[in-house]
Structure 1
Amino acid sequence: MIDDLRRSPNALAPHYSRFRVAERLLLTGHSHQAWPDVALDGQVEAFTDAAEAVDAKWERAFAKAERVRGGFRRLLDDPTADLALDANTHALVVRFLSALDLRARPRLVTTDGEFHSVRRQLARLAEEGVEVVRVPAEPADTLAERLAAATDARTSAVLVSAVLFETSRIVPGLAGLAESCAAAGVELLIDAYHALGVLPFSAPRSAWVTGGGYKYLQLGEGNCFLRLPAHAAGLRPVITGWFAEFAALADESTPDRVVYAPGGDRFAGSTYDPTSHYRAARVFDFFDEQKLTPDLLREISQHQTGLLADAFDALNAPDDLITRDRTTPRTAFAGFLALRSPHAGRLRQALAHRGVSTDSRGDHLRLGPAPYLSDDQLEAAIATLGETLS
């Protein structure tokens, strides 16, 4: 199948006609991949159910939410996972943080390479007196060990990404980190956003895992999850929405304490727009129909990022202008090619002016391919980069 995806036009491209992926050089696949056309069918179905059932639509909407959980469970290699859903990972991470006993253990350990939803929130908590320790993300090969070494008896949680969002570097050793955290009574939260949909992923059962479908999974906005470990059953998040007691609303008694639903609903929020779940359910079905398994997606990604890297090297650009990590094995990277340049922001703007969509984070220009792009398109994008550099 991968040969069909390398050709021009790519065999998947006709399924993305509304995003015109065959006509555009969309190298933002690590940030916002195109949606397959069936995603629109899901959105129409959501409107139709609302129009037909009005307030009774929620039974249908909850069924869609469960299908979305099923899709994430398959990607997590955890068929019985307890999952809380929400529109974004920030809402879920905040509930996670609110369940920690920060009075007794007022210390959080993280890295200086976390995405902004965690970086900003922890920075604000630090302003209010929570001790936040930021371990340098590089070198990634030793990050897990250094995080474990930074924990102590005052540590409530460690928060780390499975793949670093600036560089695409896979963080090894998370299983060992999970063992260290469990032994010390420290919670471990793994951000899997840049892992799911681009490489096979399985997290230790003792760890919390968050992520979503806005990037590689093509689910669009509003589709994020928090996987709970088994010991989460006794936790009571302070930040809590009324959906977390949805199953108990029929009980007319007045409990002495705030009650929580079992399983992932313990970390549920409140009323949400179910359209995102209708769309996601259709896209998950599409991935199944096209046999876009984690193993195949990894094979596609490795081919595409390798092609981009080789084409970039052939430009022979001066390292002080733009370069990449050539010392780390390519298998240690996930779904995009990170190029380092002091002019990353200007290059992104110049490429956009020439019809190539990319993005930049600090001094990294990020090139994110996607399964629906052909080899010719990737080579054309690098050729445009060469013209821009010159």
Structure 2
Amino acid sequence: MLKQHYQHFLSHHQGKLHMACHSHHFWPDVTREAQLAYWDDSARLADEKWAFFFAEKVPALQRHIARLLSLPDPKQLAFAANTHEFVMRLFSCLPRGKKARVLTTDSEFHSFTRQSQRLAEAGDIELVKVPTQPFASFEQRFIEQAAKGGWDMVFFSQVFFNSAVAVNDLAAMVNAVPDPDCIIAIDGYHGFCALPTDLSRLAGRVFYLAGGYKYAQGGEGCCFMAVPPACQLAPRFTGWYAEFGALAQSRGQQTVYADNGMRFAGATFDFSALYRLLAVFDWWQRDGIEVAAVHAHIQMLQQAFLKQLAIIDSPQLNSQQLLANDLTHHGHFLTFALADAATTSRVADFLRTQGLLTDHRDNRLRFGFAPYHELADINLKVLSDI
């Protein structure tokens, strides 16, 4: 679809089929130019670069993301080097003096899973996890738990990292929470720039976290969180960026926060990642590239992959092991559950020796797809030799 725009990365991986795109996408060529532009701007502006970044680059990236997600107010977007910073700031907003109740799933990414589990072990929170399997009943089971109320935080993924199963009705999940002060956060990392996403009806209620490392193709180091416009939370874990928009206020003895999404910002980080992500979105807008078209291309590739897999009929890897067959509500990778972790590791290692790059978690083997893949690239003959 867009292979000609990725020549720098592809030239280093000739003869290989990169199918670990859910881990990270190859960077398009425009990101190299952006990296150099960041260096040049830093040399030209020196200590004055921060004013330039926040006056020019940050608003431009906010506008792009707001457009992609149908968010009403770009200023409600804050940036950080990783989503874990935002997770910690959200946790730091939980009420003191009681054990906060947190509702989540058993399939969240390691960063949230590890952090929430540690807080539960320390006695800081009560953690309730809803199993995602069986997938067919997951949303209803989660909604039933959410509707019981008494939650201080509800956290779930738009697309689950260990299966690619996507939530069909985000609004129903959110609206099931009866507690008006509950923090509702959606991990959108595997949905952002993969699935067409309209948050216009949810923007006033949810925090949405994602970043540039995966489907947005800007590389690591630039993550964001959309903050509800009326949010007045004051994170205890905070940094000096959170004062932007409030610097003119008299501090006195009170910590002040920006009156927009920047109240959840942290402190100094490497803005080269922001330059790269901005370059990707500038390119998309210039060439009329839309998430819906990318998604349709990926779905076509996934169907072609499964057709070839059916013809090969490998006993080690076949459609019977596919975790979820409904590609209508599905992310951009296919997940297969093999016999055990050792078998999965063996298969992944063999595929790597044959130039097919994928990855695995426990007994789950994942094949990811990207805009730089074409139908001719999907050649699975090597699977016959597993």
Residues in 1 aligned to 2:289 and 2:364: alpha-carbon distance in whole angstroms: 29
* Equivalent runs, 1:92-111 vs 2, <5 Å: 92-104=86-98, 106-111=100-105
Deviation at 1:149, TM superposition (A): 2.5
What's the counterpart of residue 13 of structure 1?
3
**Do the aligned partners of 1:140 and 1:171 also contact (CA within 8 Å) in 2?**
no
Deviation at 1:184, TM superposition (A): 5.3
Mean alpha-carbon deviation: is it higher for 295-304 or for 17-26?
A: 17-26
Deviation at 1:183, TM superposition (A): 4.9
**Do the aligned partners of 1:106 and 1:154 also contact (CA within 8 Å) in 2?**
no
* Equivalent runs, 1:183-202 vs 2, <5 Å: 183=179, 185-202=181-198
Deviation at 1:326, TM superposition (A): 7.6
What's the counterpart of residue 305 of structure 1?
302
SS in 2 for 1:209: strand
What's the counterpart of residue 65 of structure 2?
72
Residues in 2 aligned to 1:321 and 1:238: alpha-carbon distance in whole angstroms: 49
After superposition, the Cα gap between the structure-2 partners of 1:69 and 1:327, relative to the gap in structure 1 and judged at 3 Å, is closer
State the Cα RMSD in Å.
Answer: 2.0
**Identity value in percent:** 33
What's the counterpart of residue 346 of structure 2?
346
Deviation at 1:306, TM superposition (A): 1.1
1:383 matched to 2:378? The reply is: no
What's the counterpart of residue 8 of structure 1?
none
Mean alpha-carbon deviation: is it higher for 346-355 or for 17-26?
A: 17-26
SS in 1 for 2:176: helix
**Do the aligned partners of 2:89 and 2:236 also contact (CA within 8 Å) in 1?**
yes
Residues in 2 aligned to 1:79 and 1:185: alpha-carbon distance in whole angstroms: 21
1:30 matched to 2:22? The reply is: yes
**Do the aligned partners of 1:336 and 1:367 also contact (CA within 8 Å) in 2?**
yes
Mean alpha-carbon deviation: is it higher for 284-293 or for 156-165?
A: 284-293
After superposition, the Cα gap between the structure-2 partners of 1:326 and 1:119, relative to the gap in structure 1 and judged at 3 Å, is closer
- Look up the equivalent residue of 1:356 and give its one-letter code: L
Gaps of 5+ in 1: 6-11
1:144 matched to 2:136? The reply is: no
After superposition, the Cα gap between the structure-2 partners of 1:125 and 1:307, relative to the gap in structure 1 and judged at 3 Å, is same
1:155 to 137, 151, 175: 151
* Equivalent runs, 1:285-300 vs 2, <5 Å: 285-300=282-297
Deviation at 1:254, TM superposition (A): 4.0
**Do the aligned partners of 2:157 and 2:186 also contact (CA within 8 Å) in 1?**
yes
What's the counterpart of residue 356 of structure 1?
356
Deviation at 1:207, TM superposition (A): 1.4
SS in 2 for 1:318: coil
SS in 2 for 1:20: helix
- Look up the equivalent residue of 1:30 and give its one-letter code: H
* Equivalent runs, 1:363-382 vs 2, <5 Å: 363-379=363-379, 382=380
Deviation at 1:281, TM superposition (A): 1.1
SS in 1 for 2:220: coil
**Do the aligned partners of 1:147 and 1:158 also contact (CA within 8 Å) in 2?**
no
1:353-384 CA-to-partner distances (Å, cap 9, x unmatched) read 211111111211111111111212112xx222
- Look up the equivalent residue of 1:58 and give its one-letter code: W
Mean alpha-carbon deviation: is it higher for 97-106 or for 340-349?
A: 97-106
Residues in 2 aligned to 1:229 and 1:124: alpha-carbon distance in whole angstroms: 27
SS in 2 for 1:92: helix
Aligned residues: 374
SS in 2 for 1:195: coil
Residues in 2 aligned to 1:138 and 1:310: alpha-carbon distance in whole angstroms: 25
**Do the aligned partners of 1:141 and 1:172 also contact (CA within 8 Å) in 2?**
no
1:1-41 CA-to-partner distances (Å, cap 9, x unmatched) read xxxx3xxxxxx222211101683311112121111111011
**Do the aligned partners of 2:30 and 2:279 also contact (CA within 8 Å) in 1?**
yes
What's the counterpart of residue 82 of structure 2?
88
After superposition, the Cα gap between the structure-2 partners of 1:55 and 1:295, relative to the gap in structure 1 and judged at 3 Å, is same
1:118 matched to 2:130? The reply is: no
After superposition, the Cα gap between the structure-2 partners of 1:241 and 1:311, relative to the gap in structure 1 and judged at 3 Å, is same
Residues in 2 aligned to 1:163 and 1:329: alpha-carbon distance in whole angstroms: 13
**Do the aligned partners of 1:141 and 1:171 also contact (CA within 8 Å) in 2?**
no
Deviation at 1:105, TM superposition (A): 5.9
1:51 matched to 2:43? The reply is: yes
SS in 2 for 1:155: coil
What's the counterpart of residue 221 of structure 1?
220
After superposition, the Cα gap between the structure-2 partners of 1:73 and 1:141, relative to the gap in structure 1 and judged at 3 Å, is farther
1:127 to 113, 121, 124: 121
1:173 matched to 2:173? The reply is: no
Deviation at 1:273, TM superposition (A): 0.8
Residues in 2 aligned to 1:236 and 1:99: alpha-carbon distance in whole angstroms: 7
1:117-166 CA-to-partner distances (Å, cap 9, x unmatched) read 11001011011111101110112333233223224453201110011111
SS in 1 for 2:156: strand
Deviation at 1:87, TM superposition (A): 1.0
2:34 to 34, 37, 42: 42
Residues in 1 aligned to 2:131 and 2:157: alpha-carbon distance in whole angstroms: 13
What's the counterpart of residue 53 of structure 2?
61
After superposition, the Cα gap between the structure-2 partners of 1:176 and 1:126, relative to the gap in structure 1 and judged at 3 Å, is same
SS in 2 for 1:165: coil
Residues in 1 aligned to 2:133 and 2:176: alpha-carbon distance in whole angstroms: 20
Deviation at 1:344, TM superposition (A): 1.8
- Look up the equivalent residue of 1:175 and give its one-letter code: A
- Look up the equivalent residue of 1:291 and give its one-letter code: G
Gaps of 5+ in 2: none
